[in-house]
Chain A
Amino acid sequence: MSKAVIDALVERFPEAVYDPYVGVGGDDCAFVKKDRIPEVCRFLKAERGFDMAPYITAVDYLGQDPRYEVVYNLFATKTNERIRLRVKVPESDCVVPTVTGVWRGADWFERYCYDMYGIRIAGHPDPRRLLMYEEFVGHPLRKDYPLRGRQPLMPEREIKDLFRGPGPSTRD
């Protein structure tokens, strides 16, 4: 659908954009080098009309070498084109430059990526957690976060229950 956009990207940034492919559902995808993502996004917005970032999220591929990945789903409202940019983030250097300078609405998506996956966003204007509370330790959507790792904010009552067993929720 928007193959031309990806082709233009590869032509314009031959050293930053690599491995283009057509993803499930027909969206055209490409991988982008981590440090070049604001530059690529600024080009897409200025010259290709991608004026909206409907969803920016992250993935944790536990066990692979660049462990994390930040995924930018972009949309051009005038031409009805969608593309998806994927940025590999290694665990040793878990920082991604911000794109809030390109799309103001990327603010909360990047805070979400920090909150849930612990991917720090360099240059973000408000780098706090988005959903979890400040006292929360760790990042809950990482694959190595314990399945029932609960961190209650207040002391919980001891309950005795046939199915849930005794004790507060920190038991499991």
Chain B
Amino acid sequence: MAAANELDTVPVIATRRDEAQSALQKIISKGVGWGRKYSLFQYPFVTACCGMEYMSLAMARYDLDRFGAALPRFTPRQADLLLVVGTINVKQAPVLRRIWEQMAEPKWVMAFGVCASSGGFYDNYATVQGIDRIIPVDVYVPGCPPRPEQVIDAIMLLQKKIQDQPHKLMDRQALPLPPGDR
């Protein structure tokens, strides 16, 4: 056998972004995440029958307000959480994409029901097979329609995800401009 390649002995340097953050930034991130996870302003993009289930979820009996996600906004520019409730067909896909692009960072997306998650039983010419082909999705809720408890569970999972994400007080990254707009 030939001698081991020199590169094989080079130690792997783990430069994860989280580890590079200072202790102060970690505390800030934890606090901002705590604040953000309990004030999810939502934008319900309701296209189909799952909307009925969303209504019961938002009303007094299941009461999303207990989880801090009570306030549906009527413009995506004020929302943090995009709830895609129902079937998205091919004609609607550019609309959904634009809605998502209009939301301010930080933003999260929940696919509510099987149609939004995977197309459901609409395996046909007209339906997008899951909104993750259009926009990135954080939480998927199966069910046709999902029980309110499932959605509450998904909200809690999303809150856990938000808490674990790194947050900054100020994001100094340049805004992404569309190509040809500079």
Contact of A140 with B129 at beta-carbon distance under 8 Å, contacts A152-B90, A154-B97, A164-B118 already known: no
- Please tell me if B125 contacts chain A, counting CB pairs below 8 Å: yes
> How many Å lie between the Cα of A148 and that of B125 in the bound state?
6
- Please tell me if A168 contacts chain B, counting CB pairs below 8 Å: yes
- Please tell me if B94 contacts chain A, counting CB pairs below 8 Å: yes
> How many Å lie between the Cα of A151 and that of B97 in the bound state?
17
CB distance from A156 to the nearest CB of B (A): 4
CB distance from A97 to the nearest CB of B (A): 29
Count residues on chain A whose CB falls below 8 Å from chain B CBs: 19
Find chain B residues with CB under 8 A from A143 CB: none
Contact with A along B125-142 (1 / 0, CB 8 A): 110111011111000000
Contact of A153 with B130 at beta-carbon distance under 8 Å, contacts A140-B125, A148-B123, A164-B118 already known: no
> How many Å lie between the Cα of A150 and that of B93 in the bound state?
13
Chain B's interface size range is 10 to 19
CB distance from A117 to the nearest CB of B (A): 14
Contact with A along B102-128 (1 / 0, CB 8 A): 000000000000000010000111101
Contact of A150 with B125 at beta-carbon distance under 8 Å, contacts A156-B133, A157-B132, A169-B133 already known: yes
Find chain B residues with CB under 8 A from A132 CB: 91, 126
> How many Å lie between the Cα of A145 and that of B126 in the bound state?
13
Select which of A140, A148, A154, A163 is within 8 A of B134 by beta carbon.
A154
Contact with B along A158-172 (1 / 0, CB 8 A): 010101100011000
Find chain B residues with CB under 8 A from A154 CB: 93-94, 97, 134
Lowest 6 A-B CB distances belong to which pairs? A156-B133, A140-B125, A169-B129, A154-B94, A133-B91, A159-B132
Point out residues on A near B: beta carbons under 8 Å: 132-133, 140, 145, 148-154, 156-157, 159, 161, 163-164, 168-169
12 new A-B pairs (CB below 8 Å) besides A154-B134, A156-B134? A132-B126, A133-B91, A140-B126, A145-B125, A149-B125, A152-B90, A153-B93, A153-B94, A157-B135, A159-B132, A161-B130, A164-B118
